[in-house]
Chain A
Amino acid sequence: DTAVSQTPKYLVTQMGNDKSIKCEQNLGHDTMYWYKQDSKKFLKIMFSYNNKELIINETVPNRFSPKSPDKAHLNLHINSLELGDSAVYFCASSSGLLNTGELFFGEGSRLTVL
């Protein structure tokens, strides 16, 4: 059983489209995250949720909307996709917010916007 699973792994789409990435964790963790890894492999946090509550929104354009239906799921919806949104998006989870830093990452979803 994969601890943190994301779907789809690959997304190729046209500019202006809307797409979603889903994430599920079966670790019983309270906290989930979305990180973006750009073409230079730089990783930056986008959002974090703790028990379905938004904790971090890291000045991400409001075209990006996370949704956490329960603490095991954190989905990412992106409206009006732009070329600059092309990246690998990683979902992660941790057992809490107290800087344990032990994040469990999914395998990533590679988004390509044409």
Chain B
Amino acid sequence: AQSVTQPDIHITVSEGASLELRCNYSYGATPYLFWYVQSPGQGLQLLLKYFSGDTLVQGIKGFEAEFKRSQSSFNLRKPSVHWSDAAEYFCAVGVSGNTGKLIFGQGTTLQVKP
């Protein structure tokens, strides 16, 4: 069965520091992978997605993620974190079968110290 694991429930980084949020997935075929961000009291917004091709994908707000098939990982990175990046981050995998279904990880809460 497909699943997504985000090993870090809570991460705190200083403003200006680099960030890496981890995501591991379990999926039989080539996965469709996504990162979403949820600001407090808001819905989720798509940061970036991977379908195929270049394994390093760029997203909005200066984020990027790298797909590593050998490690079943899709980690999210940002070189310099801003205070406004404090939010909940969700990794997700798309389920095949033309259902539009996404399976989400449990989320990582990012806190940014001034």
Q: How far is the CB of B95 from chain A (nearest CB, A)?
A: 8
A108 & B106 in contact (Cβ 8 Å cutoff): no
A99 & B100 in contact (Cβ 8 Å cutoff): yes
Cβ of A68 < 8 Å from any Cβ of B? Answer: no
Interface size on A, as a range, is: 20 to 34
Q: How far is the CB of B76 from chain A (nearest CB, A)?
A: 15
The verdict on A101 contacting B43 (CB below 8 Å), with A42-B106, A56-B99 known, is no
Q: How far is the CB of B106 from chain A (nearest CB, A)?
A: 5
B104 & A108 in contact (Cβ 8 Å cutoff): no
Tell me the bound Cα distance from A56 to B97 in angstroms.
11
Interface size on B, as a range, is: 20 to 34
Tell me the bound Cα distance from A102 to B46 in angstroms.
7
- Chain A residues lying within 8 Å of B71, measured Cβ to Cβ, are none
Cβ of B42 < 8 Å from any Cβ of A? Answer: yes
Cβ of B63 < 8 Å from any Cβ of A? Answer: no
A31 & B42 in contact (Cβ 8 Å cutoff): no
In residues 97-114 of chain B, which contact A (Cβ within 8 Å)?
98-102, 104, 106-107
Cβ of A50 < 8 Å from any Cβ of B? Answer: yes
- Chain A residues lying within 8 Å of B41, measured Cβ to Cβ, are 107-108
Tell me the bound Cα distance from A55 to B43 in angstroms.
23
User: Which B residues lie at the A interface, using CB under 8 A?
Assistant: 32, 34, 36, 41-46, 49, 51, 88, 90, 92, 94-96, 98-102, 104, 106-107
